[in-house]
Amino acid sequence: MTASGARGLWLIPVLGALAAFPFLVTDPFSQQVVVMMLMYGALGAAWNLVGGFLGRVSFGHAVFLGLGAYTTLLPLAALRLSPWVGIPLGGLVAAAVAFVVGRPTLRLTGHYFAMATIALLTVAQLLVVNWNWAGGATGVEAPIANDAWLLLFRDKAPYYWIALGLAVLTFALTVVLARSRTGYYWRAINGDEGAARSLGVPVERYKMLAFVLSAALTGVWGGFYAIYIGFIDPDSAFSLTLSIQIVLVAILGGVGSLVGPWLGAVLLIPLGEGMRVALGGSGSGLDLLLYGLAIILVSLFLPKGLVTLRWHRGSAGS
């Protein structure tokens, strides 16, 4: 067995535990927490393609989630178009928008790129608020039904299996990309863009590829998010807070590593969900304070993230 194969053996018990979880734990709240962990872990992994491997920190990734959410839920509510079609279509729409806006924004670096992504998110939110055909400020609600073709279920168990399947696909795709020539090119651009360009790396093409793939994955999960929640509006779909949470799970777990975003989600999401339930309305915003405290502690004691407890950043297999 190769070294990389041996390192991947930890996936077997993890997948086994996730597969057994809905049979052993039938509590809807617990299932929801795990679904949200899978979703945020995947969103962090998608963001990591740009923020980790490429080194461009985006605070506007919720725009792609919002595009995927609206592309999935609007046709479902208006035309009864199945999310089996709407979800991948949302990924394509997000990728197309990323291709358009990526040309000017990817020329920027550092805090200029970060500010540009925030501006993009703000503009998208304002546009959707003023589009009555998209529900305006009121938002869009999913129909009430129990139909597998429309991905509408009365309990959370089916959504759990969909989230688990999407999470496995997301993780597999990021592993393949990170260990391919594409992943090495991204890391070379992150390390020294000028040197990578001088060695013949098509820098602009691979920066765009990272941005488009990251947006497509985020858009797909946006479609799932819309169906799972059953309602979206501009404030929830194009939220800066949501973008920051996506960034936080990656930073906490370990930027530039394959398992880091998932580890960050395992810590942050149960913490936030638990505090919201325990404190209710009186604890509004406390979960964000706890997120900040967690980031401070990890920055002090594990500067490269939780992944350094076992794996090391910079290893292609990490």
In the DSSP assignment, the letter for residue 143 is: P
Q: By C-alpha distance, which of 299, 270, 216, 301 is closest to 34?
A: 270
Cβ distance 160 to 31 under 8 Å?
Answer: yes
Q: By C-alpha distance, which of 62, 298, 54, 296 is closest to 174?
A: 54
- Cα separation of 184 and 186, whole Å? 5
Using only C-alpha atoms, the chain has a radius of gyration, in whole angstroms, of 19
Model pLDDT, residue 314: 42
- Max CA separation in the chain (angstroms): 58
Model pLDDT, residue 8: 66
Express each pLDDT in 173-210 by its tens digit: 999 999 999 999 999 999 888 899 998 899 999 999 99
Say which residue the tokens 């938002």 belong to: 139
- Cα separation of 68 and 92, whole Å? 8
Burial category of 149 from C-beta neighbours within 10 Å (exposed 0-12, middle 13-18, buried 19 and up): exposed
Beta carbons within 10 angstroms of residue 25's beta carbon: 13
CA distances from 91 to 39, 83, 187, 317 (A): 15, 12, 25, 27
- Cα separation of 190 and 193, whole Å? 6
Q: By C-alpha distance, which of 215, 238, 216 is closest to 226?
A: 238
* Residues of the chain where predicted confidence (pLDDT) is lower than 50: 1-3, 311-318
Say which residue the tokens 């501006």 belong to: 119
Express each pLDDT in 256-307 by its tens digit: 889 989 998 998 888 877 777 776 655 556 666 776 777 777 777 766 677 7
Model pLDDT, residue 124: 92
- Domain map of the chain by residue range? 35-239
Query: Torsions phi, psi of 232, nearest 5?
Result: -140, 150
Kindly give the pairing relationship between strand 231-232 and strand 140-141. antiparallel
Provide the 3-class DSSP secondary structure of residue 147: strand
Model pLDDT, residue 156: 83
